[in-house]
Each structure stands twice: as structure tokens, then as C-alpha cells.
Structure 1
Amino acid sequence: METSENQNQSNFFQSNTAKMIMVGLLTLVLLIPLELVKDLIIERSQRQNEVITEINDKWGENVFFYGPILKVPYTSYEETISINEKTKETVKQKKASTNYAYFFPEELKANTNVTTKVLNRNNYESVVFSSKMKFEGDYNLPDFSSKNIKNENIQWDKATVLIKTTNLKSIKDEVKIKFRNTNFTFEPVYSDTTKDSTEALETGYIDLRKILVLGKTNFNFDITYNGSQQIKMVPIGKTTQVSMKSNWAAPSFTGNFLPDDKTKQITNSGFVANWKILHINRAFSQQSFDNLPDLSQYAFGVDFVIPVNQYQQNERASKYGFLVIGLTFLIFFLIQSISKIRIHIFQYSMIGLALILFYTLLISITEHSSFRNAYIISGIAVVILIALYSVSILKNRKFPVFIALSLSALYTFLYVIIQLENYALIVGSIGLFAILSAVMYFSRKIDWNTSNS
């Protein structure tokens, strides 16, 4: 009786069912080192972001710009009524205060030339740029009639021109605006408003009655920035036309307005983009009284970033690690079941660790080369390692060749999926369907009720 039970127990552990359970459990155990590899990729990616932030902080940060804006002070009076306690008479008093009105240009044209380059530190890189921005346009004499403000209350001789921007520390030249034949120099303005993320440049006093007295008056000014990652501006002109040219071949147009498709050109050597925005295209008027509104929601521009960086590609590759391990074990298990060759669980473990080693090789080589080169080198190394190990396990060369070809096809298939964006799901689904069909075909004649001896 005991002999029969021991024999049944022995038969069970030698059965395909028991081996499937052990291989399945091993696959789950190997998820632990696979997760550690994923954590390593995330850690390296975070380190890259820290280095990029440090590089950008020293070179120059994002550029956000809108201007020029006429800032005109005016005097308003508030009438107060009080009662004299001695005489019991009603006393009316007028209290004067200075407020500001803001006026945007009638026409604004911006011509921007952006030269990008990649800065490297150790194994990390960041995209930075130098931009030369040329502005021109015209103003009309400000109209206060909508607020019933009398002309004598307008302080025409104390008007200024204002520019709202970020990244002041990376402006490379002095900024001057020219009205007719007169230049006015911008100076930084200290602001204690913590809610406003922009900084301000403002000119000294301008007597608008002398500058704008003849109707439309032209202006022009230049700004040169060192910056990184992004340029955005607000279309504050009644008609705003912007032209941007750059050597960056992978622009990402962002914000509230896209460039004109008819004139937009993107090539391997760079891009050219043009915008034309009318005042009816955005929900703010050409003038504002008492305070300047937050117009950042109407901004548009270009992102200068690497579309898919090496760490994103490594992270996407590692997400398929469970699939690679599972399919590779399945191939060995089918070979074992068809050929009656015994493969020890330790040998499965060695194969699984070799598959995980692929991802550590991939991330380390990528940091010193491109993702494509790293993928090819890591894939070849792991395929050769497993194929040579299979020769000693399977005792022939036919099955190891099949394993090497299968792994090569699997890694190639996954590389194609990683590179695709819009079609990754459909290609992956079709590929997995083909793999499942192949497994079903090759396993159709296996007798799962018998045990290997």
C-alpha cells in the first residue's frame, strides 16, 4: 500500500502538471528581480531629470513672453461724505488715487530664430537653445472714453511700456524699444506678488502726447534669450503674426493656437512655423483697467524636448519582461514535453536570470550609446548565452538553434512594438495571437496525462 502511494507521489512530481506548476511558480519568483530592475531604471531616470533641471537652471529655463504693453496712469477720485460734529454740517471730500490702464498694440509681428543644441553631463543630456526674437508693431493713442475718464485726469507724461516674461537672468543683451527715432531702455521691476510666475521689464516715463500724437506709431525691439525646453508667447496684438525658425527637427507645437499647416515645414534639418491670430480668436480685449489679467491660458509656442528618451524606452522594454520570461519558459517546456528530455528547475532558474540580465545590460549600455545599439548588443549577448547553455541541457544542436531563432524573433518583435506609438496595441495584439497559434499548433499532440521518465 505504501509502495503504491509513494509511486503515485513520484509519478505526480514527474508529471507535466507538476512541472508546469513549478515553472509557473519560478516565473512568479523571477518577477522580484525584474521589479528591482524596473526600480533601477526609474532611479536612473529621476537622476537624469535632476541633472536636466540643474543644466537648465544654469543655462536658462522655459521662455514665456508677452508684450509690449502700454501702462498709462490716471487719477480717479472717490467722494466721501462725513458730518462735522460741531457744526452738524455734511462735508463732502474727494480723495484722489492713481490707477493704471493697460493697452495692447494694434499690430504685433514677431520673428524668432531658435538655435538648439544638446548639453551633456556624464551620461545625461538636455536640450537647450539660444533664441533671437525680433518684434515690431504699432500703437494708437490710448482711448479712455469707455471708462468716462477725463483727459485732464490722464497722466500722459508718466506712461511706461511693460513686458511680462520669465527667465530674466538668461537675457543676453540690453533690451530697448524704439518709438520713431527714440529708444527707451527696459529695466527689471521688483514684484512681491508671489502668485504671478512672470517677471516684468519696464521702461522709464514716456510722454505719449509727443510719441503717439500722429495716430499709429511704429515700434520695434529685440530680445535674445538662452533657454530650454519651451518657448511660449501670448498674442496680445489686435493682429498677431509670429514666424519661428529652428534647427530642431522634432518640434511639439503646444498651447492655444497651432501654426498654419500650409506654411509649416518640418525636415530633418529643422522646422519653420507661422501663426496669424486675430483679436476675435481670443477672449480678451485690447485694453484693461486697474489690473493686468493673467493671459497664460492664451499662450502658444513650441516644446524643444526629446520625444522619447532612452529611459522611457528602457521602461517600456522592461514592462514586457514577464512576457519574455513566460514565453521562453514555455518554449523550453514544450521542447521538454515533446523530446522527453528532463530539464531541472535550477536550469530554468539560470535561463530566467539570463533573461533578466538583458535589462540590466540594456540600461547600462544605453547610457553610453543609443538605445538601438544597446538593444542589439544586449539581445545578441543573451540569445548566444541561452543558446550555448541549451546545448548542454538538450544534448543536441537542433533545439538550441530553434531556441536562438525564437528568442531573436521575440526580441525583434518587442523592439518593433517599443518603437511604435500609434500602432503598438494592434501590432502587439496580432503578434501575441500569432504566438498563441504557434504554441497551440506545436502542443496539439502532447499527451498531458503521461509523465516523463
Structure 2
Amino acid sequence: MRNSLFLKMLTIAGLMLVLVVPLMMIQGKVRDRSNEAWRVKNEIARQVSGEQMVSGPLLVVPRVRRYLAEKSDCEAPKDCRVERHRQVLESAIPDTLSIDGELQTSMRYRGIYGSPVYRSLMQLEAVFPASWRQAKQPEQVVSSQAPLLVMQIADLRGLVERPQIFVNDVALPLVETEQLPSSLGDSAVAVKLPPNIQGAFTVKVRLNLNGTESLATLPLAKETRMALRADWPHPSFEGLVLPVEREVGGDGFTSQWRTNSLAAASAIHCAQGNGLCNEPDQALRVRLVQPVTGLLSSERALKYSFLIVGLTFAAFFLFEVLRRYPLHAMQYLLVGLALAMFYLLLVALSEHIDFVWAYLAAALSCCALIGVYLVAVMRSPASGWGFAGSLLLVQGLIYGILMAEDYALLLGALLLFSALSAVMLVTRKLDWYGFAGGRGQQKTSLADEASS
């Protein structure tokens, strides 16, 4: 008869494998909904504008330089080198760059999914040194064209109005895109520097820029200072360095960055030449983070689904062992399906209400269903509702683990250790051989046991 115990354990393991199917189907539904949310976010970015990164202003000078090249078909050594010309773009960074920006944020929705968007007003002020006209290796310079003040804006569709660029407080007209050197790329905004500019000069830029999710600037100066203000209460500061000062509250945030050319050497080297650099890791960036969404929380909750099913089946098995009251495999399966239904309800409700209320509603509904069912199965209201209450307590502990992201592993390990300890303590004096041998001879109801 000992094989009956092993067979029961094998049956329970098989039922858990069967429940993998509906749980995986629910996980697939969560992935589908997450992909839909991602598609909506990309659609909003296409219609409004994408994540914005601003770099500049930089001084870019188109020049023609001479260089010596080797001939491929030369015989005499003295005839193997020939002088050639090439066009290059040479850039210079300002001594100081100050950026002051303010973001007005809102949410744009497509159906039930949305993405944060913003409108920014930015004031940039750069001071270029008096030595800006000096070219490196001037003996190689054949000719130079009018210098350009160039800015790079990641998504030009976000420009609400044409940027205003002032040199020594004099507004300059923008150069049309088709007149700019092609190596500047498609996201360049530039003006020609007047020929009468001598010595050091100051550049001021005013940008009215729309974007989604994040705003970044490249610190292309010897000294860079940036200050940002926004009415978004959930910022994430990323990139090259973190703000030296920041205040985050329920009504928004303020932040200030300071950095220099030594810390930003990689970004400056990247921008040398044509002024084009798209290295996001070298930027000063703030990201408008959405609070943890229902889909993300539901996906995390699903990771604990097999744990809950396993603990529930283990509790049923212990009930059989200690009370000598057999439960049918179909009863295990129906309770397992009710637990799987909890996750489906959680995913569906969390798309429309706050996750905490969705979790509470789904947990109460499924635990109440299981309680009503187990009262009839176990023929004991105390045992049925006791199981349902214990399951609700476990769901509450799982919710606490979900909310405590930094301590999730610790709390999960403690929960498993507590469950294993309870099983070992309850069964420490159990005669497993006797249970396996006498199992088929004792099938008494809880009501009979309670009356005896």
C-alpha cells in the first residue's frame, strides 16, 4: 500500500504540470497587452515627437585641407607621394554653457494605454573664446568657409516654432536644411556667423520643444550648468552624471547639473568634426517615469503563481495526511483553476483600476469561491473557511513582496522557509509508513471526527 502515497504525490505533481498551461496562457496575454501598450507609446511618439536630445551650440567651420597621399602605381620613390585636397568640418566648443529649462507635462492616451509627453521651454547661453578663429595646423588649410553655429535636435518634429539664435544679442536667420553640409545630418539647426565677429562672443538660443518620455542634453562645453523644472512627480535621472541638487515632490521636481570637459571628454570627442553625436550615455537626461503600471505589477505577480499553487496543494496534501480524509484529484484541479482565475481577473481589472484595488478584488473573489467550495468538499465550515483565510493571507504576503522590490528576494525566502518549517513541525511525529498502509481503511468525515 506504500505505492498509494507515492502515486498520490505523483498525481499532485502531474496536476501542477497541467496548471502550467492556463498560467502560461495568462502570461502570454500579459505579454500581448504589454506589446499593445508599447505599440501605443511608439504611435504617440510618431505623432507628437520622440525622446529628445539637444546638443550644442557648437562652432563648425567647413574647410579644405591638403594632405599627402601614396600613389598605388608608382615606381620611383620620389614620385610616390602626391598632394590631395579634402573637405572637412572642424568644430570648437564654448568655454561655458548654461541651460535653463521648464517642462509642462501631460498624458496622451490611445484607448486605455498612454505615454507621458511634455512641452519644454529652454534657454541656452554659450560663451565662445577669443581664439575660436585659430585653426589647427594652419599650414594645411587651403580655404575656409563661413563658420556655422550648429545645434542638433534629435526629433525636429518636436519644434513648436523655429529656434531663435542670438549672437551678441543680435538675432540671426536660420540656414535652410538643404543648404547645410550633408555630413551634419538631418537633425541639425544652424546659422552663419557674421563676418564682423571678432574675439569672444556670446550665443543665446531659445527652444520651444515637444517630446515624449525623456529630455537630454549633451554637455559640449568646458563648463556646463543645467537647471530643469517640471510638474512631473516621478523623474528618473540618468546619463553621464546625476544632478548635484534635486528636489522631488508631489507637484514636480527641480534639478541642477554641473559638469566639465574632463568628465564629458567622450561626448566632446564624439562631436568633434561635424558636431554630430548620438551617444545617449554621455548626455544629462531626465526620464518621465510612469508609476508602476498594472500590467507590470501583474507580470511580477505571475512569477509567484506556481509558488501559491504549490503551497495550496501542499496544504491539501497535509490535510489528507493528518486528517486521513482523502481528496480527489479533480478537487485539487478545480482549486488550482480557481487560483489561475485569480491572475486572469488581476490582469483584467488592473487595466481599469489601481493595482491595489484590482489585487484586493481578485483575491477576495477567488478566495471566497474556494472557501464556499471547500466547505462542501471538507464537510466542515471551519476547515473550508480556514483554508480560504490562509490562502488570502498568503496572497497578502505576496502583495507585500511585490511592493517591497528591494526586499522581494529576502521576503520570498522567508516565506518559503516558514512554509517548510511549518510542514516539518506538523509532520515531525507522523508515521508515513503507517499512513500509506492504513490509508485505504480510514475514510472518515470531519463531521464524524468532530462528533466523536
The aligned amino acid for 1:36 is M
Partners of 1:127 and 1:427 in 2: CA distance: 33
What secondary structure sits across from 2:53 in the alignment? strand
CA gap of 1:150–1:332, structure 2 versus 1, over 3 A, is closer
1:108 to 84, 97, 105: 97
**Match 1:443 to one of 427, 438, 449:** 427
Residue matched to 1:276: 258
Deviation at 1:128, TM superposition (A): 1.4
Tell me: CA distance 1:343–1:237, structure 2 relative to 1, closer, same or farther (3 Å): same
1:144 counterpart residue number: 134
Indicate whether 1:388 and 2:408 are aligned. no
User: What SS does structure 1 have at the residue aligned with 2:257?
Assistant: strand
Q: Give 2:399's aligned residue.
A: 415
| 229-238 or 297-306: bigger deviation | 297-306
| Stretch moving more, 437-446 or 280-289 | 280-289
Structure 1 residue 404: deviation in Å? 1.9
Is the 1:137–1:219 contact (alpha carbons within 8 Å) kept by the matching residues of 2? yes
CA 222–192 in structure 1, closer or farther in 2 if over 3 Å, else same: closer
1:126 aligns to what? 115
Indicate which of 147, 151, 175 corresponds to 1:163: 151
The CA deviation at 1:293 is 5.8
Matches of 1:399 and 1:287, distance apart in 2? 70
> SS in structure 1 opposite 2:213?
strand
* 3-state SS, counterpart of residue 264 of structure 1: strand
In structure 1, the residue matched to 2:277 is 294
Amino acid at match of 1:55: I
In the alignment, the residues of structure 2 paired with residue 381 and residue 178 of structure 1 have an alpha-carbon distance, to the nearest angstrom, of 65
1:308 matched to 2:292? The reply is yes
Cα contact 1:16–1:337 (8 A) shared by 2: no
State whether structure 2 residue 358 is matched by structure 1 residue 368: no
Asked whether the equivalents of residues 67 and 140 of structure 2 are also in contact (C-alpha less than 8 Å), the reply is no
Matched, 1:264 2:246: yes
Amino acid of the residue matched to residue 208 of structure 2?
T
Q: Distance in 2 between matches of 1:416 and 1:148?
A: 68
Question: Is the Cα–Cα contact under 8 Å of residues 104 and 287 in structure 1 kept in the other structure?
Answer: no
- The alignment's TM-score, normalised by the length of structure 1, stands at 0.86
Deviation at 1:434, TM superposition (A): 1.1
Give the deviation of 1:216 after TM superposition. Answer: 2.5
Structure 2 length-normalised TM: 0.86
Greater mean alpha carbon deviation, residues 423-432 or residues 355-364: 423-432
1:189 aligns with 177
- CA deviations over 1:133-177 (Å, ceiling 9, x no partner): 11112122414253225999444xx22211112110111011121
Matched, 1:331 2:319: no
Corresponding residue to 2:166 among 174, 178, 202: 178
Structure 2: gaps of 5 or more residues: 72-78, 444-452
Counterpart code for 1:121: R
The alignment status of 1:38 with 2:27, answered yes or no, reads: yes
Which residues of 2 match residues 62-141 of structure 1 at below 5 A? Answer: 62-77=51-66, 98-141=87-130
| 8 A Cα contact 1:191 1:199, kept in partner | no
1:67 and 1:162 in contact (8 A); partners too: yes
For residues 427-438 of structure 1, the aligned pairs below 5 Å read 427-438=411-422
In structure 2, do the counterparts of structure 1 residues 436 and 220 end up closer, same or farther at CA, with 3 Å as the change threshold? same
- Counterpart Cα distance in 2 of 1:436 and 1:259: 47
CA distance in 2, matches of 1:195, 1:379: 59
* SS of aligned partner of 1:76: strand
